[in-house]
């Protein structure tokens, strides 16, 4: 398995109440990645961390690191705080699409495999706020245009139920799949964020498989939360069996992209936090690899649920 991290978490972060960790520039963040056991993938936020493509690629090469993805941020600019790709203002939408296209140019220049975009600010806070009909049509149009541009760099869309809008437009994996079906471009996929999927009351393993069965690709973000909010906790710290099941099915489908960490150390020691995350993610992956998949699938086909529960107790929980 390949593990990486969204390096935005490796500097100073803040929420509504507190600031966490110390500021770091891109070079310092990349140095931290090299201190985390088993990490060599980097998801970098475009355009805020990326800089000159040749120089940034050299910074990664010097450290033996690889681009896992380019994360195009279409929510930070002041005009995009209330939304970007689904906004009524055509020029606001056009500038957001242009940003994703530039992100693809950047990904191509540095040799990153794909771009991912989480349209967090697109949605609504109160009822009777947005025109659902127009905003959905705009999303199909804007993401469709971004997907069509340089399709050799696929566009992945990351759903999330809530935050920064109280109700995000792409509030579940199913909604992302509906959008991708409407767009109809096979060079697209879903960024399946474990915690986002849990917050949307989904089962990440099931939604990963459903996405592939729907004809779209999957890219995984690892973390955990309490399902009420997107806390970006370390992997399997709340939902161990879901984590095992995700790894079981990731192996079943032959997942070969990075498992990119989308977890925030907040109050914990940074390097220790990511080492524990790396350890449990690798450990669960190894545990899942030891399970006899053919046996599990056969028992499912035979509807032998009692035996399956016994196997989970013995082989996964080990009790």
* Tokens at 229, concatenated: 């909010």
Cβ proximity to Mn ion: between 122 and 193 the closer is: 193
Residues within window 262-281 making contact with Mn ion, judged by CB under 5 A: 262
Minimum gap (Å) between residue 158 Cβ and Mn ion = 6
Residues within window 164-203 making contact with Mn ion, judged by CB under 5 A: 193
Cβ proximity to Mn ion: between 143 and 156 the closer is: 156
- Report how far apart, in Å, the C-alpha atoms of 197 and of each of 35, 78, 175, 261, 295 are: 29, 28, 12, 15, 27
Q: Mark residues 8-47: x for contact with Mn ion by CB under 5 A, - for none.
A: ----------------------------------------
For position 257 contacting Mn ion by CB under 5 A, the verdict is no
* Tokens at 37, concatenated: 């056991």
Cβ proximity to Mn ion: between 180 and 190 the closer is: 190
Of 52-60, 212-220, 236-244, 256-264, which part binds Mn ion (CB under 5 A)?
Answer: 256-264
Q: How far apart are CA 259 and CA 139, in angstroms?
A: 27
Which helix (H) or strand (E) covers residue 194, if one does? helix 194-199
Minimum gap (Å) between residue 109 Cβ and Mn ion = 23
* Tokens at 294, concatenated: 């053919």
For position 221 contacting Mn ion by CB under 5 A, the verdict is yes
- Report how far apart, in Å, the C-alpha atoms of 88 and of each of 78, 80, 177, 307, 309 are: 16, 12, 23, 55, 51
Which helix (H) or strand (E) covers residue 105, if one does? helix 90-110
Answer for the pair 69, 114: CB distance below 8 angstroms, yes or no.
yes
Minimum gap (Å) between residue 204 Cβ and Mn ion = 12
Residues within window 57-76 making contact with Mn ion, judged by CB under 5 A: none
Cis peptide preceding 164, ω within 30 of 0: yes
For position 49 contacting Mn ion by CB under 5 A, the verdict is no
Answer for the pair 6, 260: CB distance below 8 angstroms, yes or no.
yes
Of 95-103, 123-131, 134-142, 258-266, which part binds Mn ion (CB under 5 A)?
Answer: 258-266
Of 93-101, 122-130, 221-229, 264-272, which part binds Mn ion (CB under 5 A)?
Answer: 221-229
Which of 292, 271, 222 lies closest to 1, judged by CA? 222
Minimum gap (Å) between residue 44 Cβ and Mn ion = 14
Cβ proximity to Mn ion: between 130 and 233 the closer is: 233
Size of the site for Mn ion (CB under 5 A): 3
Residues forming contacts to Mn ion in the complex (CB under 5 A) are 193, 221, 262
């Amino acid at each position: 398995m390949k593990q990486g991290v969204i390096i935005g978490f490796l500097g100073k972060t803040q929420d509504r109440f507190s600031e966490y960790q110390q500021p770091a520039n891109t070079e310092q963040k990349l140095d931290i990645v090299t201190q985390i056991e088993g990490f060599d993938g980097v998801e970098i936020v475009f355009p805020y961390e990326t800089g000159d493509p040749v120089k940034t690629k050299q910074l990664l090469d010097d450290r033996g690191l690889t681009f896992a993805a380019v994360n195009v941020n279409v929510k930070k600019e002041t005009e995009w705080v209330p939304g970007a790709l689904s906004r009524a203002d055509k020029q606001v939408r056009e500038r957001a699409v242009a940003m994703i296209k530039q992100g693809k140019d950047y990904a191509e220049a540095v040799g990153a495999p794909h771009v991912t975009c989480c349209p967090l600010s697109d949605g609504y806070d109160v009822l009777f706020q947005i025109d659902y009909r127009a905003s959905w049509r705009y999303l199909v149009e804007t993401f469709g245009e971004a997907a069509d541009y340089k399709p050799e760099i696929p566009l992945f869309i990351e759903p999330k139920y809530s935050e920064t809008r109280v109700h995000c437009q792409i509030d579940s994996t199913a909604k992302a799949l509906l959008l991708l079906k409407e767009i109809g471009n096979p060079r697209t996929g879903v960024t399946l964020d474990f915690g986002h999927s849990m917050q949307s009351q989904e089962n990440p393993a099931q939604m990963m498989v459903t996405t592939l069965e729907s004809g779209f690709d999957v890219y995984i973000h690892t973390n955990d939360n309490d399902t009420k909010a997107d806390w970006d906790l370390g992997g399997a710290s709340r939902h161990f069996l879901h984590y095992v099941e995700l790894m079981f099915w990731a192996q079943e489908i032959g997942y070969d992209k990075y498992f990119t960490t989308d977890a925030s150390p907040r109050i914990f020691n940074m390097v220790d936090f990511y080492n524990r995350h790396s350890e449990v993610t690798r450990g669960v992956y190894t545990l899942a690899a030891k399970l006899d998949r053919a046996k599990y699938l056969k028992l499912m086909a035979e509807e032998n649920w009692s035996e399956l529960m016994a196997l989970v107790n013995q082989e996964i929980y080990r009790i």
